[in-house]
């Protein structure tokens, strides 16, 4: 099956396999959340704000140590969870089982959906991994068809994401960047530097209460986020969660561009036959 493949062809196959694995991993996570017994409704009993700064004044820890009560097996249980979003005493939250994690449970933070769902990633991985083999067996025309298929898949997914976000029933919330968290992964060594990311800390008001949260988005430089900058968050009224981004017109334009290029590819393929 793989006879005649060059090193470049094998590299393309590996890329496709990696993308496929990413898609199946995301799909497994989705199915795990939906599986009966993996989700519980809990109530916040108390919340403690943990903060720490380094010697240079950078915020390096910012989370909430939350005590949650939930029902399990017909009796009440409690657990302590770390959350980057502030929750108030008496607030109801959804807990998701994390059997491989030290905490065992985490608060289910729905947030913004990714542009590409797991099935789109899985299909893209299969197509990319198949390209070298198809090229050897069926020639360049078949490759053109596969590339067009990828563009259609990507374009349709982007347009659908924009339309889905646009249809959501949301309430805008004004937020302000009040600090920036410096997150360092790994330690400085002789021949390597640790990976550093900067996350903005957002303060907002919801139902008359002032709250803070760490953003899910980050940058490689602290200057990317200015303290005092205002942002708009969105409360999803259906899913009862905070969204950091609304519908993005750039995704719609990108999706239309991919579909337009795929249409040109289809016409070009038909003409060349």
Domain 38-107 fold is OB fold (Dihydrolipoamide Acetyltransferase, E2P) (2.40.50)
For the cut 80, the answer to whether the pLDDT of residue 56 exceeds it is yes
Where residue 63 falls among pLDDT bands split at 50, 70, 90? Answer: very high
- What residue spans define the domains of the chain? 7-31+114-167+249-264, 38-107, 170-243
pLDDT tens, 89-124? 888 888 887 766 666 888 877 666 788 888 999 999
**pTM of structure:** 0.77
Q: What secondary structure, in 3-state letters, does the chain show?
A: CCCCCCHHHHHHHHHHHHHHHHHHHHHHHHHHHHCCCCEEEEEEEEEEEEEEECCCCCEEEEEEEEEEEEEECCEEEEEEEEECECCCCCCEEEEEEECCCCCEEEECCCCCCCCCCHHHHHHHHHHHHHHHHHHHHHCHHHHHHHHHHHHHHHHHHHHHHHHHHHHCCEEEEEEEEEEEEEEEECCCCCCCCCEEEEEEEEEEEECCEEEEEECCCCECCHHHCCCCCEEEEEEECCCCEEECCCCCHHHHHHHHHHHHHHHHHHHHHHHHC
């Amino acid at each position: 099956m793989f006879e005649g493949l060059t090193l470049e062809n094998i590299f393309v196959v590996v890329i496709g396999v990696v993308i496929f694995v990413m898609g199946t991993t995301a799909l497994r996570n989705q199915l795990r959340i939906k599986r009966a017994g993996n989700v519980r409704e809990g109530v916040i009993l108390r919340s403690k704000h943990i903060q720490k700064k380094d010697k240079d004044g950078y915020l390096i820890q910012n989370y909430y140590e939350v005590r949650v009560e939930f029902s399990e097996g017909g009796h009440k249980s409690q657990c302590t969870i770390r959350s980057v979003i502030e929750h108030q005493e008496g607030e109801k939250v959804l807990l998701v089982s994390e059997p491989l994690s030290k905490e065992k449970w985490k608060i289910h933070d729905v947030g913004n959906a990714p542009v590409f769902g797991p099935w789109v990633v899985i299909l893209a991985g299969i197509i990319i991994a198949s390209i070298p083999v198809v090229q050897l067996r069926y020639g360049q025309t078949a490759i053109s068809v596969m590339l067009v298929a990828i563009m259609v898949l990507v374009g349709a997914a982007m347009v659908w994401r924009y339309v889905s976000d646009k249809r959501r029933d949301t309430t805008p919330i004004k937020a302000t960047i009040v600090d920036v968290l410096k997150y360092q992964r790994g330690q400085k060594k002789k021949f390597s530097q640790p990976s550093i990311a900067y996350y903005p800390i957002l303060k907002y008001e919801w139902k008359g209460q002032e709250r803070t949260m760490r953003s899910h988005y980050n940058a490689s430089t602290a200057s990317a986020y200015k303290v005092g900058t205002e942002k708009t968050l969105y409360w999803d009224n259906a899913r009862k969660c905070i969204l950091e981004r609304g519908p993005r017109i750039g995704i719609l334009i990108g999706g239309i561009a991919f579909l337009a290029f795929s249409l040109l590819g289809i016409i070009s393929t038909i003409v060349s036959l």
